[in-house]
């Protein structure tokens, strides 16, 4: 088992972001975070709000909230279909911010990170988006198609607005590339454990552990591992080394499987799987006799 990453530096003396506070607490508890990904507006605004509101009770430590987009190049079939369902239901970036605002009426503690693509933000207007996202209660951004060379486009303005900007690293991020990847990152680093789209198989455990250690050392930030974590056993395996485990496609697939029986059944399927994944992650670092 690898040690947890050191606490990220506060942005202002004595002030820590919700994300930093949450990882601080997890570090004290010696466990990895469970970060579920769900698509805002899937299968409807109302149903997705119910799911997001219930996720902390199902064991979510942070929540990644997808922003639907017509051309999601990094996503596999499950999340592509989730985005299409959300778009068909009328979901927009503005409605996604409204969903976060509604969530914050009941929960002021659970960090929320928006994950998506730059085009909807660009169309919305960067300055307006950052102001509205901060007001809504968003804590961080993952924008998969903005490389470090474009940091002035959104990353640096987001940091100035006190929103964490979470950068992706992959198995192909070499020593020459790594410094630019982590330079302006904050909150945590998201390690894409395979060179591919969401929903694929995760990398071999030893390789993931080595990558997590390398990224922690380079960034000084917690490292979350995602893309392809689908089972309780695999989530627990990743949780022994990573600071967080991200699960998306498996939850989206559970939702889709439940939809023929109605939105309530889809919601319950997501929350049931989330609860099982959370329990596995929480137990991962316990003594074997406690498992």
- In angstroms, the Cα distances linking 49 to 19, 23, 39, 273 are 21, 24, 10, 17
Residue 249 near residue 224, CB atoms below 8 Å: no
Alpha helices in the chain (DSSP H): 18-29, 45-54, 77-88, 93-104, 118-124, 126-136, 155-160, 178-182, 205-219, 232-239, 249-258, 263-283
Q: Note whether 189 and 142 are within 8 A (CB).
A: no
C-beta of residue 188 within 8 angstroms of C-beta of residue 166:
yes
CA distance 143 to 147: 9
Is residue 106 part of the annotated active site? The answer reads no
Does the annotation count 145 as an active-site position?
no
Rounded CA separation 116/93 (Å): 10
Identify which of 272, 271, 279 has the alpha carbon closest to the alpha carbon of residue 55: 271
State how far the Cα of 282 lies from the Cα of 61, in Å rounded to an integer. Answer: 11
Distance CA 169, CA 166 (A): 10
Length of the chain: 291
Task: For residue 198, give Cα distances in angstroms to 162, 169, 245.
Answer: 28, 14, 14
From the list 42, 75, 132, 151, the catalytic residue is: 75
| Active-site hit among 64, 132, 139, 241 | 64
Catalytic residues: 64, 75
């Amino acid at each position: 088992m690898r040690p947890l990453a050191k606490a990220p530096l506060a942005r202002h003396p004595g002030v820590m972001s919700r994300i930093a506070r949450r990882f601080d607490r997890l570090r004290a508890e010696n466990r990895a975070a469970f970060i579920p990904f769900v698509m805002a507006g899937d299968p409807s605004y109302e149903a997705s709000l119910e799911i997001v509101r219930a996720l902390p009770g199902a064991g979510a430590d942070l929540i990644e909230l997808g922003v639907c987009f017509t051309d999601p190049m990094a996503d596999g079939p499950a999340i592509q279909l989730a985005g299409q369902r959300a778009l068909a239901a009328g979901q927009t970036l503005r409605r996604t911010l409204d969903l976060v605002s509604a969530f914050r009426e009941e929960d002021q503690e659970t960090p929320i990170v928006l994950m998506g693509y730059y085009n909807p933000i660009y169309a919305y207007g960067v300055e307006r988006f950052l102001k509205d996202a901060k007001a809504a209660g968003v804590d961080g951004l993952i924008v998969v198609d903005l490389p470090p060379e474009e940091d002035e486009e959104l990353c640096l303005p987001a940091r100035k607005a006190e929103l964490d900007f979470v950068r992706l690293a992959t198995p192909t991020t070499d020593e020459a590339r790594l410094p630019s990847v982590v330079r302006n990152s904050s909150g945590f680093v998201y390690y894409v454990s395979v060179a591919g789209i969401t929903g694929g198989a995760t990398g071999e455990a030893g390789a993931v552990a080595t990558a997590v250690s390398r990224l922690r050392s380079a960034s000084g930030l917690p490292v979350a591992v995602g893309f392809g974590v689908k089972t309780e056993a695999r989530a627990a395996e990743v949780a022994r080394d990573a600071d967080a485990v991200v699960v998306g496609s498996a939850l989206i697939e559970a939702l889709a499987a439940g939809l023929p029986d109605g939105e309530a059944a889809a919601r319950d399927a997501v929350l049931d799987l989330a609860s099982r994944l959370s329990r596995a992650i929480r137990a991962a670092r316990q003594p074997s006799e406690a498992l």
